[in-house]
A and B are shown apart, each in its own frame.
Chain A
Amino acid sequence: MSAGAGHGTGHGTAPAEEYVPVFTGAARARLDQLFTKYPTKQACLLPVLWIVQEARGWISEQAIGEVADVLELTPAYVKGVVTFYTMYHTHPVGRHFIQVCTTSPCNICGAEAVVKALLQETGCRELGATSPDGRFTVIEVECLGACGFPTPILVDDDFIENVTPEKVKGIVQRYE
Chain B
Amino acid sequence: MPSKCLSALEGVYHGESMKKVIDFIEQVQRVVCMICFVVFFVCIVLQVLTRYVPFIKILGIDEIATYSFVWASLLGAAVLIRDEQHFAFDFFRSRAHGVSRLVIEGFIYGLLIIFSFYLMVMGYRLTMKFSTWTLTSLPKVSQAWTWSSLLLSGATMTLYTVEKLVEKVRIGLEEIRK
A binds B: no
